[in-house]
Chain A
Amino acid sequence: MKLRTTAPIVLAAALVLTTAACGGGGGSGQPAGDGKSFEFWSFTGINQKRTVEDYKKINPNVQVKLTEVGTSTETAQSLTTALAGGKVPDLVLIQGDNLPQFVQQPQNFQDLRQYGADKIKGDYLDWVMSQATAKTGEIIGIPTDVGGLAVAYRTDLFKKAGLPTDRDEVSKLWPTWDAFIETGKKYTAATGKAFVDNAGTSVFYQAVNQGPQKYHDPSGNVVYSTSPQVKSAFDYALKAIQAGITAKQSSFEENWIAGMSKGDYAVVSAPSWMLNQIRDYAPGLKGKWDIATIPGGAGNWGGSYLAIPKGAANPKAAWDYISTMQSPQNQLAHFLDVGSLPTTPSVYKDPKLLAEKDEFFSDAPIGKIYTDSVLGLKPFLIGPESAAIGQEFLNAITNVEQGKGDPAKAWDTALANIKTAIGK
């Protein structure tokens, strides 16, 4: 009798205690680090595993717990949740488009100046570094790579269409986006097939990343509706759709991958990080791709940063990793190994970089092509709303491309949607 009545009371009390303990455990204090290990969140498709392995060779007694959280966006989402909840990794990779929302809240991160970031910041491209610097001066990230622009094209399909296949001659076909669209018309007329995969990412997202001003003016005000570069990029995309040269395959969709293998399109705009994706998705096309310069010559899309959250248990171990692996020499080594473009201009003239050829892409000199596109770039400001704005423009273009949106109204629709989305 006694047991039967007291047991539930004890159980209930225990439950109260455990739930209370769960509530309190999250945010309390900083766990003590051991200095010999750190937890590292990265995203898929960027191959940080390789860099971590290299680091372990130099520092065999350091344990790195690497987690590939998901896509770059998913990683940023998990990081936000982790920062709000208090249980954070020691080191995290943040993609450039997601960075501004974190830079605006620098109190969530370690100011890397305390470890000497201001002494090495001169090693990196100025405009890349300034994107990781808060208004109040804190440096919260060190750049790992930039996304110089170029165009990947299929030599075999170009040959069938009677177009030149040599990369210099192909580059000369499209000094401008207008010329790019004209070339596309010739290709489509000759083959009956689409020229480029889609208008949203392969035209708009490239062209919009090529001028001195994108969605924000230099002081951070949103100017997407009046920025001439945005409007012209949008118009190029519509023009490409109306010319009938796009395959209507949105990047990274399954059909985009299937279409790539099947030769449904001959051209993909390829920021430097895209090369790995093409290689992975359609390995059978080795030697059938080559790389030409981007219409307009220069530009940047993407690139990532390493940051250390404020509550990290092993910030020093994480910093040692950053300062070692992101030195100009190691960024060069990483480029030669997996192809992500260094952010350190001192190695851009390095003979090893200039001599680097990519076998998969018909021995294209990717080091030279991509660094040229980054050096010719006019830097622009990326703001916390940039990702949302870009997504709405992309949606409006895709909607026209899929035959559902009215091209004459697309621009106004996009502006209205952006205003609803970001409130300005």
Chain B
Amino acid sequence: MPEAEARVRQSLAERVAPYAYIAPFFLLFAVFGLVPLLFTFYVALFDWNPIGEHVFIGFDNFTRLFGDTRFWDAAWNTISIWLLSTVPQLLIALVLAHLLNHARLRLAVFFRMSMLVPYITSVAATTVVFAQMFDRDYGLLNWLLGLFGVGPIDFLQSGWGSHTMIAVMVTWRWFGYTTLLYLASLQAVPRTIYEAASVDGAGAWKQFRHISVPSLRPVIVFTIVTSTIGGLQIFTEPLLVSNTSPLTCGPARHCQTLTLFLYEQGFGQFQFGYGSAIGVALFVLIIAVATLNYVLSTRIRPERG
């Protein structure tokens, strides 16, 4: 075999190798991410019975969707639960991270680590426990309120009540995780900056406002975007809080989120086409909200002067 030919083959292999290294991810992504996504767009154009006929109906599913009050209710529920859970969660995490970074705590590692416990607890278990606490008849919260002569409040059957209940579960699950992200980022900030600030007479609030928050900017943007994506897809909590009508989160759809509505239509009623149309609408909504958030949150800038 001539030397030159071998070298050509060798260098071809070397040129292909990098692509082959990254190929596993892209192959898996194509099979489990991209193809299902594109297929969803395709199915959304059909009246699709999984065990029967698939009839092409163009954009009829979308026309129906925009006239469907259940869709708009679910969209509102989703946004309401997302706001109620994300805003407090990020604020709590911000403050906690600041405190954990500064205060001279004994057992600092213990406090930092224990915040991850809600995150590693199964969602189903969390939901069941919280739903029990918010229960109308035998719940802990209503028992407490009863001591003050208030209630009982039927959280599950009211719009604000059920949204609050689910938002509390979501906040509980995620605040520790977000706190740790912020904390990790804060620890990279040189202590000398804080020391210089306190020499200049800046109090705790000013240090928080003008040092901690601006230096966390990239990670705040990151958490806002991820919690938008996660928050708009809340599913397990609303599914599990109501035993009688799980797919609608209660008889009046008070807390049915878009993902739950998708599941109800797709896998409860087996209208795969309509369910896919909901999925497409959700996809568009998430992209829109995430972009908006990104634009807004990049306005947090380090103070100058």
Q: Is A403 interfacial (CB-CB < 8 Å)?
A: yes
B21, B52, B252: the one within 8 Å of A104 (CB):
B52
Q: What residues of chain B lie closer than 8 Å to A105, measured between beta carbons?
A: 49, 51-52
Q: Tell me the nearest residue of chain A to B244, going by C-beta.
A: A250
Q: Is A388 interfacial (CB-CB < 8 Å)?
A: yes
Assess whether A80 is in contact with B51, with CB atoms less than 8 Å apart: yes
Q: Which of A375-424 contact B (CB under 8 A)?
A: 388, 391, 394-396, 398-399, 402-405, 420-421, 423
Q: Which of B18-44 contact A (CB under 8 A)?
A: 20-21, 23-24, 27-28, 31
Q: Tell me the nearest residue of chain B to A79, going by C-beta.
A: B51
Q: Is B158 interfacial (CB-CB < 8 Å)?
A: yes
Q: Is B222 interfacial (CB-CB < 8 Å)?
A: no
Assess whether A11 is in contact with B20, with CB atoms less than 8 Å apart: yes
Q: How many residues of B contact A (CB 8 A)?
A: 37
Q: Tell me the nearest residue of chain A to B50, going by C-beta.
A: A84
Contact indicator per residue, chain A 3-34, by CB within 8 Å of chain B (1) or not (0): 01110110110011001000000000000000
Q: Is B3 interfacial (CB-CB < 8 Å)?
A: no
Assess whether B13 is in contact with A101, with CB atoms less than 8 Å apart: no
Assess whether A9 is in contact with B49, with CB atoms less than 8 Å apart: no
What is the total of A-B residue contacts with beta carbons within 8 Å? 96
List 6 A–B pairs whose Cβ atoms lie within 8 Å, in order of A's numbering.
A12-B23, A83-B50, A394-B251, A396-B251, A398-B251, A399-B157
Q: Tell me the nearest residue of chain A to B269, going by C-beta.
A: A388
- What interface size band does chain A fall in? 35 or more
- The smallest C-beta distance from B242 to any residue of chain A, in angstroms, reads 8
Q: What residues of chain A lie closer than 8 Å to B245, measured between beta carbons?
A: 391, 394-395, 398
Given the interface pairs A12-B20, A398-B251, the reply to whether A80 lies near B50 with Cβ below 8 Å is: yes
Q: What residues of chain B lie closer than 8 Å to A108, measured between beta carbons?
A: 51
- The smallest C-beta distance from B23 to any residue of chain A, in angstroms, reads 4
Q: How far is the CA of A251 from the CA of B17 in the complex (A)?
A: 62
Assess whether B157 is in contact with A402, with CB atoms less than 8 Å apart: yes
Q: How far is the CA of A404 from the CA of B137 in the complex (A)?
A: 17
A8, A80, A250, A403: the one within 8 Å of B17 (CB):
A8
- The smallest C-beta distance from A100 to any residue of chain B, in angstroms, reads 12
Assess whether B27 is in contact with A16, with CB atoms less than 8 Å apart: yes
Assess whether A395 is in contact with B51, with CB atoms less than 8 Å apart: no
Assess whether B70 is in contact with A420, with CB atoms less than 8 Å apart: yes
Assess whether B24 is in contact with A255, with CB atoms less than 8 Å apart: no
Q: Is B195 interfacial (CB-CB < 8 Å)?
A: no
Assess whether B50 is in contact with A398, with CB atoms less than 8 Å apart: no
Q: Tell me the nearest residue of chain A to B131, going by C-beta.
A: A254
B16, B248, B252: the one within 8 Å of A405 (CB):
B252
Q: Is A258 interfacial (CB-CB < 8 Å)?
A: yes
Q: What residues of chain A lie closer than 8 Å to B200, measured between beta carbons?
A: none
Residues of A within 8 A of B (CB): 1-2, 4-6, 8-9, 11-12, 15-16, 19, 77, 80-81, 83-84, 101-102, 104-105, 108, 250-255, 258-259, 388, 391, 394-396, 398-399, 402-405, 420-421, 423
- The smallest C-beta distance from B37 to any residue of chain A, in angstroms, reads 16
Assess whether A395 is in contact with B157, with CB atoms less than 8 Å apart: no
Q: How far is the CA of A404 from the CA of B251 in the complex (A)?
A: 10
Assess whether A77 is in contact with B251, with CB atoms less than 8 Å apart: no
Assess whether B50 is in contact with A8, with CB atoms less than 8 Å apart: no
Assess whether B244 is in contact with A9, with CB atoms less than 8 Å apart: no
Assess whether B20 is in contact with A399, with CB atoms less than 8 Å apart: no
Q: How far is the CA of A422 from the CA of B29 in the complex (A)?
A: 36
Assess whether A12 is in contact with B27, with CB atoms less than 8 Å apart: yes
Q: How far is the CA of A102 from the CA of B13 in the complex (A)?
A: 55
Q: What residues of chain B lie closer than 8 Å to A254, measured between beta carbons?
A: 243
Q: What residues of chain A lie closer than 8 Å to B70, measured between beta carbons?
A: 420-421
Q: Tell me the nearest residue of chain A to B243, going by C-beta.
A: A253
Residues of B within 8 A of A (CB): 10, 13-14, 16-17, 20-21, 23-24, 27-28, 31, 49-52, 64, 68-70, 135-138, 154, 157-158, 243-245, 248, 251-252, 267-270
Q: Tell me the nearest residue of chain A to B23, going by C-beta.
A: A12
- The smallest C-beta distance from B22 to any residue of chain A, in angstroms, reads 9
7 nearest CB pairs, A to B: A8-B20, A395-B251, A84-B50, A250-B244, A398-B251, A12-B23, A5-B13
Q: How far is the CA of A9 from the CA of B10 in the complex (A)?
A: 13
- The smallest C-beta distance from B153 to any residue of chain A, in angstroms, reads 11
Q: What residues of chain B lie closer than 8 Å to A396, measured between beta carbons?
A: 251
A11, A81, A399: the one within 8 Å of B24 (CB):
A11
Q: What residues of chain A lie closer than 8 Å to B23, measured between beta carbons?
A: 8, 12, 15
Q: Tell me the nearest residue of chain B to A413, going by C-beta.
A: B252
B24, B158, B269: the one within 8 Å of A12 (CB):
B24
**18 further contact pairs, Cβ within 8 A, besides A4-B17, A9-B13, A77-B268:** A1-B10, A9-B17, A9-B20, A12-B24, A15-B28, A77-B270, A83-B51, A102-B51, A105-B52, A253-B244, A394-B245, A394-B251, A398-B251, A402-B157, A404-B157, A404-B252, A405-B252, A420-B68
- The smallest C-beta distance from A202 to any residue of chain B, in angstroms, reads 13
Q: Tell me the nearest residue of chain B to A252, going by C-beta.
A: B243
Q: How far is the CA of A1 from the CA of B10 in the complex (A)?
A: 9
Q: How far is the CA of A66 from the CA of B288 in the complex (A)?
A: 48
Q: How far is the CA of A319 from the CA of B248 in the complex (A)?
A: 38
Q: What residues of chain B lie closer than 8 Å to A404, measured between beta carbons?
A: 157-158, 252
B10, B14, B251, B270: the one within 8 Å of A399 (CB):
B251
Q: How far is the CA of A150 from the CA of B69 in the complex (A)?
A: 38
Q: What residues of chain A lie closer than 8 Å to B27, measured between beta carbons?
A: 12, 15-16, 19
B154, B243, B267: the one within 8 Å of A402 (CB):
B154
Q: What residues of chain A lie closer than 8 Å to B136, measured between beta carbons?
A: 255
Q: Tell me the nearest residue of chain A to B30, going by C-beta.
A: A19
Given the interface pairs A12-B23, A108-B51, A403-B154, the reply to whether A395 lies near B268 with Cβ below 8 Å is: no
Assess whether A19 is in contact with B31, with CB atoms less than 8 Å apart: yes
Q: What residues of chain B lie closer than 8 Å to A252, measured between beta carbons?
A: 243-244
Q: Tell me the nearest residue of chain A to B272, going by C-beta.
A: A84
- The smallest C-beta distance from A261 to any residue of chain B, in angstroms, reads 12
Q: What residues of chain A lie closer than 8 Å to B243, measured between beta carbons?
A: 250, 252-254
**Interface core residue of B21, B49, B137 (most chain A CB under 10 Å):** B137
Q: Tell me the nearest residue of chain A to B20, going by C-beta.
A: A8
Assess whether B251 is in contact with A255, with CB atoms less than 8 Å apart: no
Q: What residues of chain B lie closer than 8 Å to A2, measured between beta carbons?
A: 10, 13
- The smallest C-beta distance from B68 to any residue of chain A, in angstroms, reads 6
- The smallest C-beta distance from B215 to any residue of chain A, in angstroms, reads 40
Q: What residues of chain B lie closer than 8 Å to A402, measured between beta carbons?
A: 154, 157, 251
Assess whether A101 is in contact with B270, with CB atoms less than 8 Å apart: yes
Assess whether B14 is in contact with A80, with CB atoms less than 8 Å apart: no
Q: How far is the CA of A423 from the CA of B60 in the complex (A)?
A: 12
Q: Tell me the nearest residue of chain B to A247, going by C-beta.
A: B137
Q: What residues of chain B lie closer than 8 Å to A19, measured between beta carbons?
A: 27-28, 31
